[in-house]
Structure 1
Amino acid sequence: MRIALWQMNPTVGDVRGNAEKILQGISWARAQRADLVVFPELSLVGYPPRDLLFREEMLRAVEEVLEEEIRPASQGIGVLLGAPVREEGKLYNSALLFFAGKLCARQDKTLLPNYDIFDEVRYFRSAKERKVVTFFGERLGLTICEDIWNDKDFWSRPRYDLDPLEDLFTQGATLLVNISASPYHFGKKRLRASMLSHIAQKYTCPLVYVNQVGGNDELVFDGSSLVLDAAGGIVWEGKSFAEDCTVIDTEGSLQAKNPSQVCEGIEEVYQALLLGIRDYFRKTGFKKALVGLSGGIDSSVVAALATFALGAENVTGVGMPSFYSSKESLEDAQALAEHLGIEFRVIPIGEIFSAYLRVLNPSGTPLVDLAEENLQARIRGSILMFISNREGYLVLSTGNKSELAMGYCTLYGDMSGGLDVLADVPKTTVYELARYINREREIIPRRVLVKAPSAELRPHQRDEDVLPPYGVLDPILKAYIEDNLSPEDIAALGFDEVVVKEVIRRVDQAEYKRRQAAPGLRVTTKAFGVGRRMPIAWKKGWE
């Protein structure tokens, strides 16, 4: 059987637009003489559709498109796609197989993830049964994303009591097909490939895995679809962070010609952020990005990423020096803009800041305290939002994960914006990204990479005045936020217990700030926002 894989980038809710992509894939596969074309999970509505699944008009549109467009297009070719399906008042996340103008098989998703960024139990019911489907001489084991993530021999602690694969292979499946919407985080590609290879080897069965690609709000989907032979070797690997397609032939037996090892590095984080920015703008309708350029590492990296994602003509940087801004910082911001080829404006905030100080300090003597430091950030945020309102820009905020974790950011100031590109990127990784951006030529001025990080809101200020060194802070944050370790467990890794407890105290205290932050692109195993739902008002009552 000739099977076409169509790794597509759907837009959430755009049933008609996604259907056009699917029909294009069907036409292409037919031209390639494919017997079956496979699309990702929920490809007709995009993933995750969230509470759009409660909208009657969307579900009705899905039913109309399936009946009037997809079903007739299956003449002479099998079409396997993902869509929400209603039955007796219940909703299922389904894989639908059309052929010869008919729906010839439907397999609902069995394992509904309800952790981290997933919330499928809120919307769907689990499959009642699992059945192998005979098609073109193959016995297809149809699965949907999470259904293959529960092998008890691969995972030390499986999440579910049931393993759908055991059912399917008991029934004699000869080819496993998984349609997926598996979001990216660093390390996910390697983990996924290792797991799929294990399954193929365990059951001595070829495996076809088709994943969604694209950015949907905070989530980025990497694609990286795979075809594996019965020995677990990779026959074909789809592009990462881009749409892709291929045709494979199961005639005889699939065999990996050049077994490859899936590798990951800072390039994948870079590509994920580019795709996340690009799709966030494209799918929300914005065209132009605005970035406040301080001459620091974070704003430099954000401006560079925005430029590479959207084009230099669609990015504008704004330098807003105050009394405390160094001459070198403004020079570095100017040099960065020139290297990127973006528009650069300079709007000094000294006069505005002085006016505030006169009004807010009746004694006439500025206190140079935290309130005045944050006032500068809020003036800058107001300027950026003014330009955004007047000229139609989307402001990109520049706070990184380390700062957001510690509350080292200003509400209505540097947190202003419609998207925080670095919200899930620790400070140490920001420097890695900067070095990667400069891999071929100097884009971010070298001085930006070597000077001590500073908010420049008071004389001689350095981040390390109030934060541990980032080389110490970031591993503690990862242990607490991503690995969910206790203070005692983190200290046992070799960190000072007093420092650990203070870091954790500040992380917990800053939750109210993060709740008001712009959405951020997820690139680690645990991002702030939809995947980490902590209360704001709470007390640690177990000590």
Structure 2
Amino acid sequence: MVPAMNSIIRLLGLVNRTPPANPMAALEDLLDLLSDSGSAAADIVLLPRFALCPPSSGELMRSKTLLAACEEALNGLLLRSKELESFLVLTLPLQKNGIPYEAGAVIYKGELYCFSPDEGELPLFRVGDLSFTVLPCDPHRLPHYLPQVEDSGCDLVLVPSYEPVYAGSRRAAAKGMCALSAAASCAVAAVNGGVGDTSSPHLWGGYILVAEEGNLLAQKCAEQEGIALYHDFDCDLLRAARPAPQRQREALCAHPCTGAKAGLLREVSRTPYLPDKPGERERYLEELFTLQTRALACRLDNTGLERLVLGVSGGLDSTLALLCCARACDLLGYPRQRILGVTMPGFGTTDRTYYNALLLMEQLGIETRDIPIRNAVSSHFEDIAHDPAKRDAVYENAQARERAQILFDLSNQENGLVVGTGDLSEAALGFSTFGGDHLAGYNVNICLNKTTIRELVALIAQRDWLPGVGETLQDILDTPVSPELLPPAQSGEQHQKSEEILGPYLLHDFFLHYTLRYHFAPLKVYNYASIAFAGEYDPAFIRDKLGIFIRRFYTQQFKRSCAPDSAEICRPNLCGFYIPSDMNPQVFLDELARGEE
């Protein structure tokens, strides 16, 4: 079996000390760093521009003595490279016909590949499945090279740099790298040299930065001593968002990667579908709510329908849908009485959710209807000769379908639009009733997973965007997620809890993101989840819940194939997603099981 993590390419960034006009001292420090960092595990070693002799040497760069010393240092580096399985990337001061010039250099196994940075076409190299190019420049100017980078079709841009440091220079470098990586859908790594160099007329300083698809993933700064930074790139992540290159470029040199890596030297977020930084996360959630509201307002305005009709259960999903309806009416200048919220208590409805639903609707000032469904469903059981003591799918689904019938019939009476409350997590797992809560006139939550909805409702409560509902929203947030289709315990507590049936939504949302966004194989999803949730969930627990996800995700497509209208307000999502509705997921389950061998 091919290891699940064999797409990992490991980069080692090094900033060595570069004393003025002393190539052998620079080489000695570089070789010490290579030894101390255990560089044998790296596929690529990125060094600063002029790692053997800094440009501060000025006119001495024309000195044959200094150039000879540079050549001697280069020979020492070539000799050391024979012992490594890594590409070494840097630039070198060379001379041609007695004239000094800078050359980009890639070293592998004692072989030197030189190229001119000023050539129109960037060089291409390959390690394993990853292709990379080298672009020696000031990192903040990287966006200017977007056409060349896109033409190269590379996965990774390596930037050996040697620029003076000044206030804000590292932030400018990071900004340029993020801009290029976002525009070209690639990764960028930059190493800036200067540790130990002269402080006149500039101040030099080293740093290592890594960006990927617009985000700065890793950074490290040097002061008086050299530094090293490891970072792993995943070819599957890099390739998922990039279009196939229009032409296949030949690589100047290629070699296999060093094999499956021990561990993963990159951060794996528990919520990869949300920004990690608190301020950015809040801005993103606010934008999601704005887009939800605009989408619903647009549908109501364009259709000329008079009412928004939705079932309000006191649960998380219907709560967000109702908040979206209220904000949409405010946006259009409509009275909130245009919203018709319907409570439909059934056999499993608890007092907590029922009264929270009534209270929230009252606080928002909408029209309410309370239509119990117990008698109608009991009559239906008699019609189809179903024993109500048999608490099976018929018992549960009959309630969901009765509620859908009520909502659609009311919308016909009121010239209204049934607003769906289902979310992305439920759609992925098929945790809805076909022909019941699976249907609506328009879905507002369908691109948001359960974890995102929870954070969004919490933010709305905190920010008080809709005044007067914060306390009620907090109690709804504190209520366990449940379909409430089975009778509660004698204490009144709901024992039918979704996350006890399926597993934590936090895990399922993680599984879904890497399955949809990056097309990860099950075993690789498991490996990433084990890293992200280490110390929180046991690996055996993660594997078991991933098995549940696979079974449900690949067998519930028939519900997604006839999903209601919605707007794609974030990605990844399941809008327009297609797989055969009658497929067997066994091949994916087998792949996951092989990881136990």
TM-score, normalising length from structure 2? Answer: 0.47
Q: Identify the match of residue 312 of structure 2 among 293, 299, 302.
A: 293
Shift in Å, 1:359 = 2.5
Q: Which residue of 2 aligns with 1:425?
A: 448
Distance 1:442 1:462, change over 3 A: farther
Answer whether contact 1:378 1:414 (CA < 8 A) is retained. yes
Distance in 1 between residues matched to 2:519 and 2:328, nearest whole Å: 33
Distance in 1 between residues matched to 2:179 and 2:299, nearest whole Å: 25
SS of residue matched to 1:335: helix
Q: Identify the match of residue 459 of structure 2 among 431, 436, 447.
A: 436
Distance in 1 between residues matched to 2:181 and 2:422, nearest whole Å: 34
1:454 aligns with 2:482: yes
Q: Which residue of 1 aligns with 2:583?
A: 538
Distance in 2 between residues matched to 1:479 and 1:195, nearest whole Å: 19
Answer whether contact 2:555 2:585 (CA < 8 A) is retained. no
Distance in 2 between residues matched to 1:533 and 1:192, nearest whole Å: 32
1:275-354 equivalence runs, <5 A: 275-311=294-330, 312-354=336-378
Distance 1:539 1:412, change over 3 A: closer
Q: Which residue of 2 aligns with 1:274?
A: 293
Shift in Å, 1:193 = 9.7
SS of residue matched to 2:149: coil
Distance in 2 between residues matched to 1:403 and 1:465, nearest whole Å: 15
* CA offsets 1:166-197 (integer angstroms, 9 cap, x no match): xxxxxxxxxxxxxxxxxxxxxxxx98897569
The aligned length equals 303
Q: Identify the match of residue 153 of structure 1 among 139, 149, 152.
A: 149
* CA offsets 1:491-530 (integer angstroms, 9 cap, x no match): 1111623321321221010100111221233233222122
Q: Identify the match of residue 383 of structure 1 among 398, 406, 418.
A: 406
Answer whether contact 1:289 1:394 (CA < 8 A) is retained. yes
Q: Which residue of 1 aligns with 2:393?
A: 370
RMSD: 3.1
Distance in 1 between residues matched to 2:380 and 2:402, nearest whole Å: 10
Distance in 1 between residues matched to 2:411 and 2:417, nearest whole Å: 6
1:488 aligns with 2:523: yes
Distance 1:315 1:508, change over 3 A: same
Distance in 1 between residues matched to 2:422 and 2:478, nearest whole Å: 19
SS of residue matched to 1:492: helix
SS of residue matched to 1:452: coil
Distance in 2 between residues matched to 1:150 and 1:535, nearest whole Å: 39
SS of residue matched to 2:327: helix
Answer whether contact 1:152 1:158 (CA < 8 A) is retained. no
Distance 1:541 1:297, change over 3 A: closer
Greater Rg over alpha carbons, structure: 2
Distance in 1 between residues matched to 2:509 and 2:152, nearest whole Å: 27
1:120-519 equivalence runs, <5 A: 151=147, 153=149, 157=153, 195=182, 264-311=283-330, 312-361=336-385, 364=387, 366-438=389-461, 439-440=463-464, 441-443=467-469, 445=472, 446-459=474-487, 460-493=495-528, 494=530, 496-519=542-565
Runs of 4+ aligned residues of structure 1 deviating over 6 Å after TM superposition are: 190-194
Q: Which amino acid aligns with 1:485?
A: F
Distance in 2 between residues matched to 1:276 and 1:150, nearest whole Å: 34
SS of residue matched to 2:502: coil
Answer whether contact 1:479 1:490 (CA < 8 A) is retained. yes
Q: Which amino acid aligns with 2:500?
A: D
For structure 1, which runs of at least 5 residues remain unmatched after alignment? 1-147, 160-189, 199-260
Paired-residue identity, %: 27
Shift in Å, 1:307 = 1.0
Shift in Å, 1:323 = 2.6
Distance 1:442 1:151, change over 3 A: farther
Shift in Å, 1:158 = 7.0
1:38-57 equivalence runs, <5 A: none
TM-score, normalising length from structure 1? Answer: 0.51
Answer whether contact 2:306 2:414 (CA < 8 A) is retained. no
Distance 1:475 1:157, change over 3 A: farther
* CA offsets 1:342-395 (integer angstroms, 9 cap, x no match): 111101111101111223336x55301121101100000000011011111100
SS of residue matched to 2:309: strand
SS of residue matched to 2:417: strand
For structure 2, which runs of at least 5 residues remain unmatched after alignment? 1-143, 156-176, 186-278, 331-335, 488-494, 531-538, 591-597
Distance in 2 between residues matched to 1:278 and 1:192, nearest whole Å: 33
SS of residue matched to 1:435: helix
Distance 1:480 1:350, change over 3 A: same
